[in-house]
Structure 1
């Protein structure tokens, strides 16, 4: 029976693979990765940061192929990672290598769909701390130029292997494209658009693009006006000519800065996909350039969505004006029809990802996907998180911080407190789901027609124009490759959340703490910070001192035994001012684990940050920039926070015992007054006039 079951499962897997559509679905269950393949050699200036001379370095990549594939004419996708043109950690970030989590995830996914994918390293090195903006621009344009040369070298490497090495990777040399992430997006945009050296430094009318020139354009005697990149020095944009710095720059002799690689092969690509990044100048973009698919956060603080000045992520210093995805696609759509993305627009795709791109505000420009990450209404709550698809290992980064006296982990988590594989992989779903049908159709690898139209099926076809009854589904407990699905707790609020689990097994535990009080006997206060709002006066000195005002809050108790997400119950609003907060609190779910509280609110998973007295959201929760806070009532000193009371203690004390002197003025002109005087009765003395 066991053998029969194994055969049955194998048959199921093959049946599903046969039904799936290559380049649209993950047809393969595994990939083969060949690491550190040398695709070229060129000169890096990174040693200059240590006072050494430029030196040659091997250019390496990891090549992902679908395991067990028999096809020999496969498209190639060249993945270019982020990193601010500096090594990981030195760049102030926890990412920046060809092995970044998102790099491995996306390269593996596209390879499982049938692509050959190369995740390339490229030359790094520039000085973001240069004293002037002109110097920083010079440094950055040269770094980007080297990145373009290396990306194009990788393209030619694959064409060379197909031509002279027996085609070891089984590629179709006419189907090569880029996927650039972050800094890699700057590289992929430029590598896909720059036609020749003059295109870098002159606009479409032949005039200098002044931001890429240095010196005096007015011809002042003795002051040269020179481009920041010089072909004889830096080599051509292809990286197929040698370049030398003249004597006197790095010493008495010329120093080679570019080594020609794989001459005689084309560097042209068929398509370009980018996740963030920007184009150095819109003059580089022309009709006939490759089709483009762009994912970018409109509120991206480091790569402009329109046309603005790029800033150094770690210092905020201005560098150079560049154009992001919105203006790039506006330029494409201003071209005569059919424009560069005409093939995408002709598809008229209406799948969920295509519809979401339109809903997110892509102006109907097919190929543009605005990424609205962690928005509340129309406002991003995490504007400094321009790459929600990234995730990285916190423990490793904290070890680096401890060794070097840096705060990279804490800083990065402040920018993206939701960071993790759950969020990252969800965005990878979107990236692949939106890009795959467009890439496949553009390359002629798949076409529109009858197919499976059910998005829940293993062989969903975004290009299908009608359902042909071919949909197949994974058996319960198995994925589309016939592999057992990992069972576990899939709710990120739970203390035993398993980010590798894809099948909920009912084991989630949402309460595991001996330090945070819950239950009906423990009243909690919940409020919003007031600094910077119209109600700032109510904050008093509390928030200025790093606290909160407990007197401007709602209260309730934490209900639940942990078998389901916890919730607030018995919510009241003593102030009468916080009805919206009370309504929100009634919908919030959360988990309490150890000393940590994680909240699900407004569509976000929010890890609250504790300080010993209260927990506060690391991001604003509304358009007014207010932060959510919560604390047990018992964590606040009880006294009187009203300065007008006669027993005022402190403005930040919980006001449960304020007393006031009261003077009663009673007009007794028309009354008979007892010889014993006037007595006041009330609840305070049992309504006894004689008391």
Structure 2
């Protein structure tokens, strides 16, 4: 299938601007005076199994409780520890959280807290009536579930902090389908220019935070990604100085593309996606802290089946994470509060623009075909209102001020 993001690249390549930023320069983590994270400083690991973190309905309509197993270094006295939330592989149709118990154990022995999560697997009819829609929907169900798991920990941090997690060092990762989920947790957000069909899937699954738990007042942001043989729908979802990422991938992977190729779901090719090679190249071009370990081979994750290769890969990942935790310039990412916001009144079918600097703009509204719908010159932020007398769909608002363009996205439902 032709990649469905291409037409949006062509229309908006000159107008999509950097909205997210990285906050640097915080103090080093208190544990960085030791060799924690890069060597096995713990012998044993304790596991809290079957911890309930969410609930949601499967594609087949089954009400499913979502559990995780939490791995901690036994005997650890640290009270503020980095967390890695991991998801297993299995093409979104098979696999269990115990499949990556060995990865979680490895990280826990290095001083991390690691959580292996359930996420909903496809249990609808075979073959699906629309393979692409079913595959994208299943992927986003996984994103919704992982975000709920991350919020579980952030809620705990704000309360008793039973698991002694440092909120500035929460990482997402996984293998294959699990890595695809983690990549989109890290890079897919409401500021991106996204095709309407994908926006509809996101909307049907509770929006950008998902609906797998009700605690959406807590953040699901992550400070880094561990990508084992994963991909992303489009590297244009990545922004300047975005979330750091560590990737490992075989260069002739037949299942998940190393470069650009088709993702499969339940043995159906559903959509073209960008693999680790393109993620690495895009990250370099956007000054995103990243590392790619390329494996010469034609397997899918075969490096995890070889004890020596697996140890070398996991060693590299902890060195990468250690650099994020212990470098004074790379140890935290967060998204800045925007000076400009869209305030939409669904009841009045209108919108305003909030601007903390109270500026005037030339406002231009485009549809996703790149056609201009209207222009409102000398639009007064915080005062003027635009009535939305347009068909349902997705629109791009461009606010022009002193030769600077500020893009916003408008969704009419």
State the TM-score bracket (shorter-chain normalisation): 0.5 to 0.7
Shift of 1:259: 4.7
Unaligned runs of 5+ in 1: 1-18, 49-53, 88-95, 214-226, 240-257, 342-365, 374-382, 392-422, 449-691
Q: What SS class does the counterpart of residue 238 from structure 1 fall into?
A: coil
What is the 5 A alignment of 1:32-181?
32-45=46-59, 48=60, 54-87=61-94, 96-100=95-99, 103-125=100-122, 129-130=126-127, 135-164=130-159, 166-181=160-175
Q: 1:116–1:131: structure 2 CA closer, same or farther, 3 Å change rule? A: closer
- Does residue 305 of structure 2 align to residue 386 of structure 1? no
Q: Tell me if the contact between 1:75 and 1:176 (Cα under 8 Å) persists in the aligned partners.
A: yes
- Residues 44, 73 of structure 2: 8 Å contact kept: yes
Note if contact 1:41-1:57 (Cα within 8 Å) is conserved in structure 2.
Answer: yes
Match of 2:288 in 1: 340
Normalized per residue, which structure has more strand? 2
Q: Distance in 2 between matches of 1:446 and 1:69?
A: 24
Corresponding position: 1:440 with 2:305: no
TM alignment of 1:394-543, pairs within 5 A = 423=306, 425-444=307-326
SS for the counterpart of 1:326 is helix
**Is the Cα contact below 8 Å between 1:78 and 1:118 reproduced in 2?**
yes
The residue number in structure 2 matching 1:235 is 206
1:438 Cα deviation from its structure 2 partner:
1.6
CA distance in 1, matches of 2:260, 2:303: 23
| CA distance, structure 2, for counterparts of residue 146 and residue 155 of structure 1 | 15
Question: What is the rounded CA distance, in whole Å, between the counterparts of 1:386 and 1:159 in structure 2?
Answer: 33
**Structure 1 Cα separation of the partners of residues 126 and 304 of structure 2:** 25
The alignment partner of 1:305 has SS state of coil
Aligned in 2, Cα 1:107/1:446: closer, same or farther, shift over 3 Å?
A: farther
Matches within 5 A, 1:340-359: 340-341=288-289
C-alpha spacing 1:443/1:310, structure 2 compared with 1 (3 Å)? same
- Specify which of 28, 37, 50 is matched with residue 42 of structure 2: 28
Contact 2:88 2:174 in 1 (8 A): yes
Aligned partners of 1:309 and 1:321 also within 8 Å: yes
Map 1:237-386 to 2 at 5 A: 237-239=208-210, 258-312=211-265, 315=267, 317-335=268-286, 339-341=287-289, 367-373=291-297, 383=298, 385-386=299-300
Distance in 1 between residues matched to 2:324 and 2:232, nearest whole Å: 22
- Of 168, 179, 198 in structure 2, the residue corresponding to residue 185 of structure 1 is 179
The structure with the larger Rg is 1
Describe the superposition over 1:537-590 as per-residue Cα deviations: whole angstroms up to 9, x where unpaired. Answer: xxxxxxxxxxxxxxxxxxxxxxxxxxxxxxxxxxxxxxxxxxxxxxxxxxxxxx
CA change 1:433–1:441 in 2 (3 A) is same
Three-state SS of the structure 2 residue aligned to 1:443 is helix
The answer to whether the Cα contact below 8 Å between 2:144 and 2:205 also exists between their aligned partners in 1 is no
1:440/1:446 contact within 8 Å kept: no
Q: TM-score, normalised by structure 2?
A: 0.68
Deviation (angstroms), 1:288: 3.1
Give the CA RMSD over aligned residues.
Answer: 2.5
Residues 372, 126 of structure 1: CA spacing in aligned structure 2 closer, same or farther, 3 A cutoff? Answer: farther
- 1:237: how far off? 2.2
Structure 2 matches for 1:526-565, cutoff 5 A?
A: none
Could you tell me how far 1:126 is from its partner in structure 2?
A: 5.7
Deviation at 1:77, TM superposition (A): 0.5
Aligned pairs, number: 299
Shift of 1:105: 1.6
TM-score for both structures, normalised by structure 1: 0.41
How far 1:25 sits from its partner (Å)? 0.6
CA shift at 1:58, angstroms? 1.3
- Alpha carbons 2:229, 2:300 under 8 Å: kept: yes
CA distance in 2, matches of 1:69, 1:99: 23
- 1:61–1:118 Cα contact (<8 Å) kept: yes
Q: CA deviation at 1:446?
A: 9.3
Q: Deviations over 1:414-469 (max 9, x none)?
A: xxxxxxxxx1x222212222111221121227999xxxxxxxxxxxxxxxxxxxxx
Tell me, yes or no, if the aligned pair for 1:128 and 1:136 is still in contact at 8 Å. no
Q: Distance in 1 between matches of 2:110 and 2:185?
A: 25
Q: Secondary structure at the match of 2:48?
A: strand
> Helix, strand or coil for the counterpart of 1:145?
helix
Specify whether residues 30 and 156 from structure 1 end up closer, same or farther in structure 2 by C-alpha distance, changes over 3 A only: same
Find the aligned partners of 2:303 and 2:150 in 1 and give their Cα distance: 25
Q: Which runs of 5+ in 2 are unaligned?
A: 1-32, 331-413
* C-alpha distance in 1 between matches for 2:320 and 2:125: 37
Tell me, yes or no, if the aligned pair for 1:106 and 1:428 is still in contact at 8 Å: no
Partners of 1:125 and 1:307 in 2: CA distance = 24
